Chain A
């Protein structure tokens, strides 16, 4: 079941939450809507679910929400057959886990309702799927956060939704549980293959789980692409900045950088002296000697060794603080120390010329 949003707007009072957004999610795909809070990602998801109504279209072709090429913009939530999972689970506290999962099957009109034995069978299968067999008689408040969210997911899957919509599903959980559930969600998606849209503000989560990532900012889509595309070929300064840490060099470094042979420079727009250069910490090299034009002399301020790569914080001769990530084995060979004078050289960089506004 493909989902398509065409030129949709949403305003709350005078606040524009979504501005002319179009998006197509293919059947069976897992797409992440990624952005900071207030970027409109949750509003977009809630509009797809039918929990929020788009602004009235001014022209034809505007404000459409299509499920498999059928316009559902006027359908209610219950008619759209979407599975919606909330950040804070929204489980029915007075019902057991079993009853929570069975809910969607029990409220069907009598003519479409499965016989009781089949409902029981289906709930048992789902309990197995979420690895909570034997928890059917518990109540939501007797479960941990991660367990509750799995129950919420099973409850949504019970109705065999056409689309699964997840609103920051792991946002309220601690780091370890998030990581496990994230991997579990990906495996689950490979099993059930329901078209899934996931909202998150965690770039790692989006890059790890999704087939495609939609980066949103200020009510608009900044970029749509596979995790590799958005990470390695960011379309805008916002995207590169939001997806992981990045060092920003001012325009003064443009000339020597673009002339060096070591730096493969990607440009978006014309190169000018005022361009900003973005270099990720792992795209910088540290050496004792200068490697040429693009090398900048710097002094090591601090070294953080915990992790797969060492994080070296340096202060350049141009009065800039820069972070360099070096794989831990390479770091050990370099024998770096705090206060040492070194050279940093970009191996790869992204250049954006400032946007001219009229």
Chain B
């Protein structure tokens, strides 16, 4: 009897230890800080929260943050796919160098990225000057925010799609060709759909990174209230003004929106995986 019970209970060795560690770590590093934020925010009445949310300046900053982040993640997913495809499928001189360049935005301190972006996109910078001649302001404009968010989110898109492209079954493409499909049909109907889960992951990571970005954006954005002020900057300036409650209110709104967004994407992914049996 007892022996049977033991075998039923048995899992891979180390389960208790690793689960314990995982719980402890997730609690310490994620749950407690968020709980502290919520605790702080709980001193705010619902009334105040709604008031804060209703301010045009807060609304404008949230719109800019989510709008630019979504757009940047979309652009990154598209171009990230092309770059990942090129790096995986083709062999050319400088491929390795290019491959390691991709990670640079990961590793650079965000303030350094900000200064670097400012240097070239400012009205006096090499790129900014050119665009200004065409009447497009690349710095101190919403476009500047978008550029910074694309810059920092790009590696996420590339790095999540690369392994998926590497694992693509060459035989599935050959099967498609033998069934009479043209190269383009094969790409559209066979290759692309099998990359959707990876693309979604890349999109999510790039989006999450963009939503929370601060350092690289603030220089190029110029931080004009109502126009180029992102939510995380607004939080910092509220804190500077000793308005902890106001800062927390914006933070809670951002947190909730981000959480809903990530859950939605996770849900889509979960549905695809359940259908196609991927784990």
Interface residues of A (CB under 8 A from B): 49-51, 76-78, 80-84, 86, 88, 90-95, 103-104, 107-108, 139-142, 152, 155-156, 158-159
Contact = CB atoms under 8 A, between A and B. Distances in A.
Interface string B171-206: 110111111111001000110011010000000000
B200 to A, nearest CB: 13
Contacts of B171: 86, 88, 90
19 contacts: A50-B178, A76-B177, A86-B171, A90-B175, A91-B172, A91-B175, A92-B194, A93-B194, A94-B194, A94-B276, A95-B193, A103-B176, A103-B179, A107-B181, A141-B277, A142-B277, A155-B175, A159-B179, A159-B180
A141 B169 CA distance: 14
Interface in B230-279: 272, 275-278
B178 A84 contact: yes
B185 to A, nearest CB: 5
Contacts of B189: 92, 103, 107
B103 to A, nearest CB: 30
Contacts of B181: 78, 103-104, 107
Contacts of B193: 92, 94-95
Nearest to A143: B277
A139 B193 CA distance: 14
A78 B194 contact: no
B169 A90 contact: yes
Interface of B: 169, 171-172, 174-182, 185, 189-190, 193-194, 196, 272, 275-278
B178 A51 contact: yes
A120 to B, nearest CB: 17
Contact of A107 (B179, B276, B277, B278): B179
A49 B174 CA distance: 10
A51 B174 contact: yes
Contacts of A50: 178
B276 A93 contact: yes
A139 B180 contact: no
B191 to A, nearest CB: 10
A107 B185 contact: yes
B178 A77 contact: yes
Contacts of B278: 93, 141
A8 B174 CA distance: 22
Contact of B182 (A88, A103, A107): A107
Given A107-B185, A141-B277, A141-B278, A90 B179 contact: no
A104 B181 CA distance: 7
A81 B178 CA distance: 7
A67 to B, nearest CB: 14
Contacts of B177: 76-78
Which 8 pairs from chain A and chain B are nearest by CB?
A: A141-B277, A104-B179, A90-B171, A107-B181, A84-B178, A90-B175, A77-B177, A94-B193
Contact of B180 (A88, A91, A108, A141): A108
B174 A77 contact: yes
Contacts of A91: 172, 175
Given A80-B178, A86-B174, A159-B180, 20 more contacts: A77-B178, A78-B177, A78-B178, A78-B181, A82-B178, A84-B178, A90-B171, A90-B175, A91-B172, A93-B194, A93-B278, A94-B194, A94-B276, A103-B181, A108-B180, A141-B276, A141-B277, A155-B175, A156-B178, A156-B179
A92 B190 CA distance: 7
Nearest to B195: A94
B233 to A, nearest CB: 41
A80 B277 CA distance: 33
Contacts of A88: 171
Contacts of B194: 92-94
Highest count of chain A CB atoms <10 Å: which of B175, B185, B194, B276: B175
A2 to B, nearest CB: 19
Contacts of A93: 172, 194, 276-278
A275 to B, nearest CB: 46
A139 B189 CA distance: 16
A95 B191 CA distance: 12
A91 B172 CA distance: 6
B277 A139 contact: yes
A104 B174 contact: no
B182 to A, nearest CB: 7
B178 A139 contact: no
Contacts of B275: 139
Nearest to B171: A90
B174 A90 contact: yes
A78 B276 contact: no
B183 to A, nearest CB: 9
A155 B179 CA distance: 8
Contacts of B272: 94
